[in-house]
Amino acid sequence: MPPYYAERFTSTESNYSFRTIPSRATIDRWAAATPEQFRFSFKALQAITHFKRLKGCAEKVRAFYEGISPMGAKLGIVLFQLPPNFQRDTALLSDFLGELPRGMRITFEFRHES
């Protein structure tokens, strides 16, 4: 699908990465199939956002980022989509942000009204 998307858009988000880190072969294939200016954003692993709920997952985040980093200049943002029942916890979020790899561009989708 990346060539199809690249004909119509300048970026796409991979939901595939919610369940597993894409293989290096997949990353290389996607990058090769799109023009230089195309960007790929990735949804962070469900293990980070839904199972561990941002607690004690620095190693998982590091491994995830290392897995998608071969995308190079085509790497967009990492979306941390939190579960709908994940209530506001400013201290936890602050701790989590402090553990993120340097250079990782991120965004959050907070779905709980708090």
What are the structural domains of the chain? 2-109 (3.20.20.410)
Cβ atoms of 47 and 80 closer than 8 Å: no
Count of other CB atoms within 10 angstroms of residue 70: 14
Residue 48: pLDDT over 90: yes
Task: Say what percent of the chain tops pLDDT 90.
Answer: 97
Instruction: Residue 84: name the closest of 42, 45, 53 by CA.
Output: 53
Report the pLDDT averaged over residues 5-16.
94
Residue 39 has pLDDT above 90, yes or no: yes
pLDDT of residue 92: 97
Per-residue pLDDT band for 57 (boundaries 50, 70, 90) equals very high
Q: Is the pLDDT of residue 2 over 90?
A: no
Tokens of 28: 């290389």
**pTM of the model as a whole:** 0.92
To the nearest whole number, what is the mean pLDDT of the chain?
96
Q: Give CA–CA dist 112/85, Å, rounded.
A: 6
Higher pLDDT, 74 or 2: 74
